[in-house]
């Protein structure tokens, strides 16, 4: 059995502020230590339930170089660095039996929700076939395209509710109760890890009863971008057009992987500032 654990940072217990998630800020080292510890708890849980499982861990926050390699459980394969195929789900393939999304956050515009956004601050909204999706929805759909169910998600209570709307039978662990964009009531990190270990074992044990969440193509997609100059760059991509004023672009995709790749590209283009 192959299990992919995608680990983001904003949804880790104890983390509530950008200083804890930004490599250039003073509290980042604590944030990455908390992130690594929660990843290890989930690895433990997977291997408690399935000792022969092959576990891959995708570092899925910001630069994709946050997890501490020397402190990560040696039984796992770590995927780090960017750019890379499938971004936050690097390591996902047709042999993946289950996916877990750890430390995830709610989509842009959700609230109250700790550090809510979608891919970057440049994206205000993503609508796929008329449905608003954040990172939770996009990654769940991408996994589902390869017939891999997302069996576990952890984050704040808003993120758990967002995922629960997509896959009600999956397991969620709310490691903090949100009070706002940068405030929450968090579990003690050790308590969060113990709950995650138990939840990961339980999710693996009943993975057969948790279906993949899929979106059939073709798909019409609209993306609202923060700045008009971001739209100016986006429409240089073949097939991407400007719609409804100065901040929205649209494209037609054959399937979920095409949606996923194009949104990753739009995020990178949005990081370019005009001279």
Q: Is 117 annotated in the active site? A: yes
Alpha carbon 34 to chain centroid, angstroms: 17
Name the DSSP letter for residue 212: P
H or E element that contains 220: strand 219-225
Name the DSSP letter for residue 118: B
What is d(CA 102, CA 99) in angstroms, rounded to the nearest whole number? Answer: 10
Among 61, 105, 117, 145, the one annotated catalytic: 117
Q: Which residues contact 234 (CB under 8 A, 6 or more apart)?
A: 223, 225, 240, 249, 266, 269, 270
Contact assessment for residue 221 and residue 252, using Cβ atoms and an 8 Å cutoff: yes
Residue 156, CB-side half-sphere exposure with 13 Å CA sphere: 27
Catalytic residues: 117
């Amino acid at each position: 059995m192959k299990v992919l654990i995608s680990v983001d940072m904003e949804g880790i217990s104890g983390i509530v502020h950008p200083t804890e998630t930004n490599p250039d800020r003073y509290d980042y080292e604590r944030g990455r230590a908390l992130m690594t510890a929660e990843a290890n708890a989930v690895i433990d849980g997977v291997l408690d339930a399935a000792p022969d499982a092959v576990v891959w861990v995708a570092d899925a926050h910001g630069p994709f170089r946050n997890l501490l390699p020397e402190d990560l459980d040696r039984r796992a394969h770590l995927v780090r660095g960017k750019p890379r195929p499938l971004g936050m789900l690097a390591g996902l393939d047709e042999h993946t039996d289950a996916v877990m999304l750890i430390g995830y956050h709610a989509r842009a515009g959700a609230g109250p929700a700790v550090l809510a956004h979608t891919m970057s601050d440049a994206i205000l909204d993503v609508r796929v076939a008329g449905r608003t999706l954040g990172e939770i929805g996009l990654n769940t759909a991408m996994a589902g395209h390869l017939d891999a169910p997302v069996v576990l998600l952890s984050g704040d209570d808003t993120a758990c509710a967002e995922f629960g709307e997509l896959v009600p039978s999956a397991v969620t662990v709310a490691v903090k109760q949100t009070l706002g964009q940068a405030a929450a009531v968090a579990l003690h990190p050790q308590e969060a890890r113990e709950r995650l270990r138990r939840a990961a074992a339980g999710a693996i044990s009943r993975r057969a009863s948790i279906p993949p969440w899929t979106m059939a193509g073709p798909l019409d997609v609209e993306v609202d971008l923060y700045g008009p100059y971001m739209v100016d760059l986006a429409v240089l991509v073949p097939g991407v057009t400007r719609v409804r004023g100065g901040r929205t672009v649209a494209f037609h995709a054959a399937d979920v992987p095409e949606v996923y790749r194009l949104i990753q590209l739009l995020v990178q283009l949005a990081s370019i500032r005009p001279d």
